[in-house]
Amino acid sequence: MDISAFLGQSRVLIVAGKGGVGKTTMVAALAHLAARAGLSVLVVELEGRQGVATAFGSGDPLDYTGSVLKAAGVESIGDAHTGSSTAIPPGTVQARTITPDDALLEYLADHGLRRVSKRLMSSGIIDLVAGAIPGIRDILVLGKVKQIERSGIADLVLVDAPATGHTMTFLSSAGGLLDAARGGPIRAQAADVVQLLSDPRRCQVALVTLPEEMPVNEAVEAAYQLEDKVGIALGPVIINGCYPSLPGLDSPAEEAAVSAGVDLDPSLVSSLEAARRFRLTRQHLQEEQLQRLAHELPLAQLRVPFLFAETIGPGELDTLSDALAAGVHALPDRAEVPS
């Protein structure tokens, strides 16, 4: 499948998965891939983490107004702050945070309450309201995502979701509020969010996992819950941290040294042998988990290699995006989502 067609399937892509599986890193890699394909990209960071900016080589903290992480034709430029409502140029990655407090302030200001909004916030009204209306924080954040989606300022909006348990609450809050609220602005906002989440042409989830037992279990469970409880469409599952297979691991280190005519110190031979066995076991377990995932979750898989690097920076991002691109190219072209 063509990269633009793949990334153009829905304007919003929520990247979700268990804690630490590489969600933020995959958001950065997908953003890089999309920008390379000429799309305009907005990354939305919900938890105030800075991993996306670091991967693009920027040391500046992300904020609510947004900053440019990659300009068209430039590898990474860091911190140029932007207006949050201006259209993003093609081939550019911008990133911003969305917090419930900022989203509420903006909502109040947009509804003619700018002067009182700051005072209301400093008096802690958000906590009061959040206590009275469960799920309101999530609706404020998702309402802002919906507004961004509707504004069309970016071809692709990538949302770096919280870890799985929280994501499930986060995404099901709108449905809960819609059932509970009889009318008024909260119900209207919740209805808009539910519409966004249940339309596969507007919004999908990409689950990230690792080729290991627990993360695979969690990904399978999350996939069914997301479909059943939230009614959100699932894109391919991204399997991060795959060890590439190494050729030549079948012969023991000692035999390999003899047949290569190299004379090695016995302690080195035994270390090499331990490394060989470790890697073989790891490859075997990985293969088992990948097959189990394919069997239990009928979704296309995009495999991304584990990189032996200290940190993920712009160079690593290239490699990860290339791996995603190769996976996407190998996917069959899909028929249009029926309307």
Interface positions with ligand ATP (CB under 6 A): 19-25, 49, 51, 163, 240-241, 304, 306-307, 311-312
Binding window for Mg ion (CB under 5 A); candidates: 1-9, 16-24, 238-246, 306-314? 16-24
209 is a contact residue toward Mg ion (CB under 5 A): no
Return all residues near 192 (Cβ < 8 A) that are at least 6 apart: 143, 146
Q: How far is the CB of 22 from ligand ATP (least distance, A)?
A: 4
Question: For 330, phi and psi rounded to 5 degrees?
Answer: -80, -10
Q: How far is the CB of 22 from Mg ion (least distance, A)?
A: 8
164 is a contact residue toward Mg ion (CB under 5 A): no
Applying CB under 5 A, the site for Mg ion has a residue count of 2
* Sign of the C-alpha dihedral computed for residues 161, 166, 171 and 174 taken in this order: negative
> Which CB, 30 or 190, lies closer to ligand ATP?
30
Place of tokens 């009204």: 125
Per-residue CA distances from 107 to 94, 130, 140, 185, 324 (Å)? 22, 15, 8, 11, 37
> Which CB, 20 or 38, lies closer to Mg ion?
20
Q: How far is the CB of 105 from ligand ATP (least distance, A)?
A: 25
> Which CB, 33 or 126, lies closer to Mg ion?
33
> Which CB, 20 or 315, lies closer to ligand ATP?
20
* DSSP code at position 93: E
> Which CB, 24 or 204, lies closer to Mg ion?
24
158: which 2 tokens?
């990538």
Q: Which amino acid does the sequence have at 284?
A: H
Return all residues near 57 (Cβ < 8 A) that are at least 6 apart: 75, 76, 78, 313, 314
The greatest distance separating any two alpha carbons of the chain, rounded to the nearest whole angstrom, comes to: 81
Q: How far is the CB of 58 from ligand ATP (least distance, A)?
A: 15
Q: How far is the CB of 176 from ligand ATP (least distance, A)?
A: 24
Q: How far is the CB of 13 from ligand ATP (least distance, A)?
A: 15
Per-residue CA distances from 128 to 73, 108, 181 (Å)? 47, 16, 17
Q: Which of 7, 10, 11, 24: binder of Mg ion (CB under 5 A)?
A: 24
User: Which residue, among 26, 19, 18, has the nearest Cα to 218 in the 3D structure?
Assistant: 18
Residue 163, contacted partner among Mg ion, ligand ATP, none, CB below 5-8 A by kind: ligand ATP
> Which CB, 273 or 316, lies closer to ligand ATP?
316
338: which 2 tokens?
């029926």
Residue 304, contacted partner among Mg ion, ligand ATP, none, CB below 5-8 A by kind: ligand ATP
Residue 152, contacted partner among ligand ATP, Mg ion, none, CB below 5-8 A by kind: none
Q: How far apart are CA 264 and CA 150, in angstroms?
A: 65
200: which 2 tokens?
């596969």
Contact 211, 239 (CB under 8 A): yes
301 is a contact residue toward Mg ion (CB under 5 A): no
Name the residues that contact Mg ion, by CB under 5 A. Answer: 23-24
